[in-house]
């Protein structure tokens, strides 16, 4: 079964007096992996569950391809879903778990077990096929859950924070595996997470959500370099906010005049949004415009945190080689490396 596109149109959902989703719109193209990223409570999980049919929207519609499935019950929606944890059936073996979707579709036993083995092989767990859930590690369980979700070749794949409950290293390995699998199957996928590194690493596009609203949906690149809002700017990667004053479309930062990229009506006193890698720190024997607070060595690069005279904390990311002699307390000269900079209202 080839994959289809997924569309959410004007979805709204309230829980009590909280607006989990407010006129939410989203389109996922065929074979695309779109991540919904945001803090807890932003509505991303609700959106996913509405797509799955596990929550019913108050208003709006969900379409798969051209078909409106808003009223279709969950068990008829032909979507594969991977939950955060604990979703494998404890009374069934691994292979029976994976074959379950096919069993529900009345596929005959030997055929479905064969398919289950194929998939388990794909995720590297064929040897565990006769075991039970409690005998597997967290990472193994999620791989089985993944195999189970794609066993019946669903049109849409839904992932609800599948890696959040796992150890850091397992997380990194598994997310690559998920992406590989998704690309080779070409399944339209919606992936929910609160970990922005994860979202950026494997998605075609990422939608950043806050309070039930989609703030920006774009490629990881665009999100990082051209954040549409203050929230997106701080949520994706680290962002410095440096107070400055706009004069004639320019701001003065650390002694240089730089073009201010406005997105709206920003004027007067604003915050200049600058990524740490766009700020350089240099030791100086003169007065300097900042003092080093701390230096974090991270291998190839180091994070230097400084404080300017007016108290602003500035973070800079440089290669470790160039920052060797920057000790806490030393005077430094900060410089902005780009010629244009985003600004946001204070």
Partner 1 sequence: MFSAFEFSIRTPANGGYGWDNYLWAIREQDFFHYIIRSGWLAALTVLITLIVLVPTMTWLHLSKSTIRPFVDGISLLPLVIPVVAFAVGAQITFPEFVQNTVLELPFLYFVLALPYAYRTLDIGLNSIPLKTITEAARSAGANWWRTISTVIIPVIKSAVVGTVAITFALSLGEYTLTVLLHWDTFPTWVTYVAQENILGAIAISMMSLIIPVMVLTAVTLVAPGRSTQGRK
Partner 2 sequence: MTLNVNKGGAPSRRRASLISFLKNIAPALPLLVIIGYFFLFPIGRLIYVSFMSNENTFTLDNFRTAMQEPYRSGFTNSIKIGLVSAAIASLPGAFAAYFIESRGPVKLRRTISVMSGVLANTGGVPLAFMFYAALGIQGQLTKVLKFFGWDIYAGRFSLGTFIGLLIVYLYFQLPLMIIVFSPAIVALRREWAEAARNLGASQLNYWTKIGIPLLFPSFIASFLLLFASGFSAYATARALTVGDIALTPLQIGGLLDGNVSAEQLNLGKALGVVMVVISAFAVIPYLAIQRRSARWQKR
**Which residues bind to partner 2, rule: CB under 8 A?**
52-54, 73-81, 83, 85-92, 100-101, 103-105, 133-134, 148-149, 152
**Residue placing its CB nearer to partner 2 in the complex, 64 or 274:** 64
Closest separation in Å from C-beta 45 to partner 1:
6
Number of residues that bind partner 1 (CB under 8 A): 3
- Interacting partner of 244 out of partner 1, partner 2, none (Cβ under 5 to 8 A depending on kind): none
Strand partners, 24: 11
C-alpha span between 105 and 220 (Å, rounded): 38
Choose among partner 2, partner 1, none what residue 45 binds, the Cβ cut-off being 5 to 8 Å by kind. partner 1
Class of residue 190 by CB neighbours under 10 A (exposed 0-12, middle 13-18, buried 19+): buried
H or E stretch at 175: helix 168-185
CA dist 281 and 90 (Å) reads: 56
- What is the SS3 assignment for 69? coil
DSSP 108: -
Nearer to partner 1, 49 or 148 (CB): 49
Binding site partner of 15, from partner 2, partner 1, none, Cβ cut-off 5-8 A by kind: partner 1
Shorter beta-carbon distance to partner 2: residue 90 or 268: 90
Compute the distance between CA of residue 44 and CA of residue 199 in angstroms, rounded to an integer: 13
CA atoms of 317 and 279, how far apart (whole Å): 7
Q: For partner 2, which is the closer residue by CB, 69 or 242?
A: 69
Nearer to partner 2, 72 or 303 (CB): 72
Alpha-carbon separation of residue 96 from 31, 74, 121, 122, 214 (angstroms):
28, 21, 14, 16, 38
Nearest distance from C-beta of residue 214 to partner 2, angstroms: 24
Place of tokens 């939950």: 83
Q: How far is the CB of 192 from partner 1 (least distance, A)?
A: 11
Minimum CB distance to partner 1 smaller for 45 or for 97: 45
- Is residue 203 a contact residue for partner 1 (CB under 8 A)? no
Q: Return residues touching partner 1 (CB under 8 A).
A: 15, 45, 49
């Amino acid at each position: 079964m080839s994959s289809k596109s997924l569309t959410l149109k004007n979805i709204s959902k309230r829980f009590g007096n909280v607006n989990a989703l407010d006129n939410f719109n989203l389109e996922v193209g065929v074979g695309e992996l779109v991540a919904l990223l945001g803090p807890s409570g932003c509505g991303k999980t609700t959106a996913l569950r509405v797509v799955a049919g596990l929550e019913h929207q108050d208003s709006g519609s969900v379409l798969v391809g051209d078909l409106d499935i808003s009223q279709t019950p969950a068990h008829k929606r032909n979507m594969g879903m991977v939950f955060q944890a604990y979703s494998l059936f404890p009374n069934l073996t691994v292979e029976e778990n994976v074959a379950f979707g096919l069993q529900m579709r009345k596929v005959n036993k030997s055929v479905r077990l064969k398919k289950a083995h194929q998939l388990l092989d794909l995720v590297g767990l064929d040897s565990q096929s006769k075991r039970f859930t409690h005998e597997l590690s967290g990472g193994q369980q999620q791989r089985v859950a993944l195999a189970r979700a794609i066993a019946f070749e669903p049109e849409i794949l839904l992932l609800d924070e599948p890696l959040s409950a796992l150890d850091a290293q397992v997380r990194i390995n598994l997310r690559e595996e998920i992406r590989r699998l998704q690309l080779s199957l070409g399944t339209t996928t919606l992936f929910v997470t609160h970990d922005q590194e994860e979202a950026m690493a494997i998605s075609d596009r990422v939608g950043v959500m806050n309070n039930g609203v989609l703030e920006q949906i774009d490629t990881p690149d665009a999100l990082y370099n051209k954040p549409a809002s203050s929230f997106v700017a701080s949520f994706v990667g680290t962002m410095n906010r440096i107070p400055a004053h706009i004069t004639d479309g320019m701001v003065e930062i650390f002694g240089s005049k730089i073009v201010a990229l406005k997105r709206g009506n920003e004027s007067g006193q604003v915050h200049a949004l600058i990524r740490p890698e766009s700020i350089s720190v240099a030791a100086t024997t003169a007065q300097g415009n900042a003092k080093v607070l701390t230096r974090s060595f991270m291998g190839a690069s180091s994070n230097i945190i400084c404080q300017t005279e007016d108290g602003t904390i500035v973070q800079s990311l440089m290669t470790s080689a160039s920052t060797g002699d920057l000790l806490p307390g030393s005077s430094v000269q900060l410089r902005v490396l780009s010629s244009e900079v985003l600004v946001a209202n204070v």
